[in-house]
Amino acid sequence: MGTSFNTALESLRTTRVWKSIFRRGPAITNRTRSLAVFGNLFLHWLPVKVREKSLRVRAAYYLGSLSLLLFITLVVTGVLLMFYYHPATPKAYYDMKDLRFVVSNGVFVRNVHRVGAHLLVLLVFWHMFHVFYRGGYKPPHEFNWVVGIILLLLTLFLSYTGYLLPWDQLAFWAVTVGTNIISAAPVIGSEVRFVALGGHIVGENTLLRFYVLHVVILPLLAFLFIGVHLWRVRKDGGLTVGSKDDDGQN
Amino acid sequence: MMDKTKIESGFSSDAKKEPRRIVFITRNTSANVKDERERKVMSCPHLLVREAIVFEVLIIAMVLVALIWDAPLEQLANPLLTPNPAKAPWYFLGLQELLHFFPPFVAGFLIPTLVVIALSVIPYFNVNVEGKPLWSEQASKRFGIVLWVVVALLIVLVVVDAWTIIVPTVLVAGLLVASYLSKATTGRMGALRAKPLSWWIMTWFIATVLCLTVVGTFFRGPGWSWVWPWGTHAA
pLDDT confidence tier of residue A186, bands split at 50, 70 and 90: confident
Average pLDDT over residues A159-177: 95
Nearest to A229 by CA among A153, A143, A167: A143
User: What is the rounded distance in angstroms from the CA atom of residue B170 to the CA atom of residue B155?
Assistant: 12
Percent of chain B with pLDDT over 70: 81
User: What is the rounded distance in angstroms from the CA atom of residue A197 to the CA atom of residue A63?
Assistant: 34
Cα–Cα distances (Å) from B224 to B59, B86, B101, B217, B218, in that order, read 37, 9, 11, 11, 11
pLDDT at B12 over 70: no
Pairwise CB contact (< 8 Å): A184 & B129: no
CB count in 10 Å sphere of residue A164: 27
Count residue pairs from A and B with Cβ separation < 8 A: 196
How close A80 gets to chain B, by Cα (Å)? Answer: 15
The residue in chain B having the minimum alpha-carbon distance to the alpha carbon of residue A93 is B76
Angle formed at CA B169 by CA B210 and CA B101, multiple of 5 degrees: 75
pLDDT confidence tier of residue A47, bands split at 50, 70 and 90: confident
Average pLDDT over residues B128-152: 86
B 141-170 residues with CB below 8 A of A?
none
Average pLDDT across chain B, whole number: 84
pLDDT at B8 over 70: no
Q: Which residues of chain A make contact with B191, given a CB cutoff of 8 A?
A: none
What pLDDT does A56 receive?
Answer: 84
User: What is the rounded distance in angstroms from the CA atom of residue A176 to the CA atom of residue B71?
Assistant: 20
Cα–Cα distances (Å) from B46 to A34, A56, B157, in that order, read 12, 11, 51
**Which residue in A111, A143, A185 is closest to B71 by CB distance?**
A111
What pLDDT does A248 receive?
Answer: 45
- A206/A238: higher pLDDT: A206
Cα–Cα distances (Å) from B171 to A82, B164, B174, in that order, read 47, 12, 5
- CB distance B40 to A52 below 8 Å: yes
CB count in 10 Å sphere of residue B35: 11
- CB distance B131 to A135 below 8 Å: yes
Helix axes A63-82, A218-235, angle to 10 degrees: 160
The length of chain B is: 235
Residue to test with chain A: of B42, B46, B115, most A Cβ within 10 A: B42
- B228/A220: higher pLDDT: A220
pLDDT at A132 over 80: yes
Average pLDDT over residues A9-22: 88
How close B103 gets to chain A, by Cα (Å)? Answer: 9
Residue to test with chain A: of B50, B58, B67, most A Cβ within 10 A: B58
Grouping H, G, I as helix, E, B as strand and the rest as coil, residue B72 is: coil
**Which class is domain A57-240?**
mainly alpha
pLDDT at B27 over 80: no
What pLDDT does A44 receive?
Answer: 84
How close B130 gets to chain A, by Cα (Å)? Answer: 10
Long-range CB pairs of B163-166, under 8 A, 24+ apart, other chains included:
B164/B97, B164/B211, B164/B212, B164/B215, B165/B101, B165/B208, B165/B211, B165/B212
How close A82 gets to chain B, by Cα (Å)? Answer: 17
Contacts of A138 (CB under 8 A, 6+ apart): A240, B19, B123, B129
- DSSP 8-state class, residue B222: G
User: What is the rounded distance in angstroms from the CA atom of residue B145 to the CA atom of residue B148?
Assistant: 5
Contacts of B4 (CB under 8 A, 6+ apart): B36, B37
Average pLDDT over residues B92-115: 92
pLDDT at A42 over 90: no
- Highest average pLDDT, of A102-111, A235-244, B18-27, B137-146, comes from A102-111
CA atoms within 13 A on the CB side of B1: 5
B 188-207 residues with CB below 8 A of A?
199, 202, 206
pLDDT confidence tier of residue A9, bands split at 50, 70 and 90: confident
Q: What residue segments make up the domains of chain B, in order of their start?
A: 44-72, 90-224
- CB distance B229 to B219 below 8 Å: yes
Q: Where in chain A is the domain with CATH 1.20.810.10?
A: 57-240
**Which residue in B67, B74, B82 is closest to A170 by CB distance?**
B74
**Which residue in A33, A55, A93 is closest to B44 by CB distance?**
A33
Q: Which residues of chain B make contact with A146, given a CB cutoff of 8 A?
A: 120, 123
Q: pTM of this prediction?
A: 0.87
What pLDDT does B32 receive?
Answer: 52
What pLDDT does A45 receive?
Answer: 83
- CB distance A114 to A121 below 8 Å: no
Angle formed at CA B109 by CA A209 and CA A228, multiple of 5 degrees: 60
Average pLDDT over residues A195-202: 92
Pairwise CB contact (< 8 Å): B108 & A185: yes
Average pLDDT across chain A, whole number: 90
What tens digit of pLDDT does each residue of B37-85 get?
578 888 888 899 999 999 999 999 999 999 999 999 999 999 999 998 8
Residue to test with chain B: of A170, A176, A180, most B Cβ within 10 A: A170
Sign of CA dihedral A249, B4, B5, B11: negative
Contacts of B6 (CB under 8 A, 6+ apart): none
What tens digit of pLDDT does each residue of A78-129 get?
999 999 999 999 999 999 999 999 999 999 999 999 999 999 999 999 999 9
